[in-house]
Structure 1
Amino acid sequence: MPQADLSSEIGTALPYLRRYARALTGSQTSGDKYAAATLEAVLADREMIANASSAKVGLFGMFHGIWVTTGAPVTEEDEGPLKAAQGHLSRLTTNSREALLLHTIEEFPVSQVAEVMNISAEEAETLIETARQEMADGMSGRVLIIEDEAIIAMDLESIVADLGHRVTGVARTRDGARQLGSKETPDLILADIQLADNSSGVDAVNDLLKDLGERPVIFITAFPERLLTGDKPEPAFLISKPYSEEQVRSAISQAMFFSSTETLRA
């Protein structure tokens, strides 16, 4: 592949690598450090990417190699939800969470998950199923949904309930979200970006976090590339519309488990 084409493909895949890194670490800062280390490795040696089935698979494969050698260590700066989450992660089957994220959030087929992780397809499938079960068994809680489209809101309610969580309410506007949040404190917020009255789901979430304190958040948007620029704070969990049920299930389990609280606040 010509160098110009390879560079272009890497540039296209990079925002999604950064999303994956944030989901793994629960932190934009930590995730971006891993992504930067991956780019440095690419500049030093492009052979792995050039030999992969695609530039994106090769890029994620290089990231995975760096990730597994560091083991996502807990540092002295880690505290609160992040430190607790790292403790939870240490009890998960090795590499299962990575396999699940690659398959569900990043939408790699099992064959490419296996390629990224340098394992067999059978091992990748087993890791994905193991992660689903371990994280589903981990916890349940209350979920506030902020979504203005009735059909989508109903679908999200069903997915949340099937996971064993309870929906505290569905808000269609920024003001409605704040009112529902004041009635019953959610453990997780699932929010669309653009709401019915042209208000912002980001603003609605930040209102709630100001009132209620930090808690995990998942954003849903039809335009994820607008939030994956690297120019401002980004959400740790971001789902693209149209979404699949498996993506939502995985993100909810990940966010609840990791208790990630990063949003789009400046």
Structure 2
Amino acid sequence: MSLGQQLAPHLPFLRRYGRALTGSQSEGDQYVRATLEAIVAAPGEFPRDVDPRLGLYRTFQAIWSSTHGDNRVEPAEPGTEHEAIARARLARIAPLSRQALLLTAMEGFTTEDTAYLIDETPAEVEKLVADALSEIDKQTRARVLIIEDEPIIAMDIESIVRDQGHEVTGVAVTRDEAVALAMEDRPGLVLADIQLADDSSGIDAVKDILAEFDVPVIFITAFPERLLTGERPEPTFLITKPFQRATVKAAISQALFFDESTVPA
């Protein structure tokens, strides 16, 4: 099998990486083209002692490092709102940390392979990834309103929220209380149960809040079937009780990562 045939299956993923790294489809694709041109011009210099995919990314990294100076992400091209928000967050992460995060989390390289690609030690790669995740956590700090009428569950959710570094603006047990708290102290995230203390609805409380301002919402409920009918727009984030703390943490991180209001100016 020729080198070109070996590399072909990996090119779409290299384009994905290039676009994420630069924040631009056109610039990312330019780096991929430059990588292929370098391989064609000097096939004997292509790393033959590693897996072809690893050699391909290694060649890309060498070109990127030698031509991109400070490695800053350029202004993003038009794309989906979520893509633009993600690019804005990645742009604020230090260059090597951004590369380490993308290579491990998105491209699936091991710590050792990533160390080879960016000329660092495995221990340094782990530190770089941790720094990148820490920066994302800082960017997505939020003030959270909890709508939950069961005291023990509310305390558990509040503990999860605070453990992630977020602030709790209040805990509401009824629809009216939830709306009043939201209007008094606008939250950046709402965690809501469906069935509330006075038989009012967390769904209605959320509708009232969203009528006043946009805010990401995560429903945590023992009655998911009420929101999963397929007959109307449904929430993006829905957690079923009893829940795992890790599930709630992941949902919070995901909801805030794509929320424009928490992107630093």
Q: CA offsets, 1:3-50, max 9 Å, x none?
A: xxxxxxxxxxxxxxxxxxxxxxxxxxxxxxxxxxxxxxxxxxxxxxxx
> Unaligned 5+ residue runs, structure 1?
1-73, 99-116, 262-266
**1:94 partner SS:** helix
Label 1:169 to 1:95 Cα distance change in 2 as closer, same or farther (>3 A): farther
2:250 equivalent to 1:242: no
Mapping 1:42-57, distance limit 5 Å: none
Aligned length, in residue pairs: 164
Q: CA RMSD in A?
A: 3.3
**1:137 partner SS:** helix
Label 1:226 to 1:183 Cα distance change in 2 as closer, same or farther (>3 A): closer
**1:206 matched residue in structure 2:** 207
| Distance across 1 between alignment mates of 2:201 and 2:104 | 35
**1:231 matched residue in structure 2:** 231
| Distance across 2 between alignment mates of 1:96 and 1:223 | 37
| Distance across 1 between alignment mates of 2:152 and 2:249 | 17
Is the contact made by 1:135 and 1:253 (CA closer than 8 Å) also made in structure 2? no
Computing the radius of gyration from Cα coordinates, the structure with the larger value is 2
> Which fold has the larger relative contact order, with Cα–Cα distance below 8 Å and residues 6 or more apart in sequence?
1
2:183 equivalent to 1:175: no
Task: Give 1:227 shift.
Answer: 2.7
Label 1:119 to 1:89 Cα distance change in 2 as closer, same or farther (>3 A): same
Is the contact made by 1:132 and 1:250 (CA closer than 8 Å) also made in structure 2? no
Task: Give 1:163 shift.
Answer: 1.0
Match of 2:102 among 68, 87, 94: 94
Task: Give 1:245 shift.
Answer: 1.1
Q: CA offsets, 1:171-209, max 9 Å, x none?
A: 001101011112101011010111111211111011011
Task: Give 1:140 shift.
Answer: 0.9
Label 1:260 to 1:202 Cα distance change in 2 as closer, same or farther (>3 A): farther
| TM-score under structure 2 length normalisation | 0.52
Is the contact made by 1:174 and 1:199 (CA closer than 8 Å) also made in structure 2? yes
**2:139 matched residue in structure 1:** 138
Paired residue type of 1:246: A
**2:219 matched residue in structure 1:** 219
| TM-score under structure 1 length normalisation | 0.52
| Distance across 2 between alignment mates of 1:243 and 1:177 | 22
Label 1:135 to 1:237 Cα distance change in 2 as closer, same or farther (>3 A): farther
Label 1:232 to 1:146 Cα distance change in 2 as closer, same or farther (>3 A): same
**1:214 partner SS:** coil
Label 1:152 to 1:169 Cα distance change in 2 as closer, same or farther (>3 A): same
Q: CA offsets, 1:38-72, max 9 Å, x none?
A: xxxxxxxxxxxxxxxxxxxxxxxxxxxxxxxxxxx
**1:68 matched residue in structure 2:** none
2:156 equivalent to 1:155: yes
Mapping 1:115-130, distance limit 5 Å: none
Is the contact made by 2:141 and 2:166 (CA closer than 8 Å) also made in structure 1? yes
Label 1:222 to 1:182 Cα distance change in 2 as closer, same or farther (>3 A): same
**1:179 partner SS:** helix
Is the contact made by 1:85 and 1:259 (CA closer than 8 Å) also made in structure 2? no
Q: CA offsets, 1:201-243, max 9 Å, x none?
A: 11101101112x1111111111334433433211111111111
Q: CA offsets, 1:127-184, max 9 Å, x none?
A: xx86864542332121000001000111111111111111010000110101111210
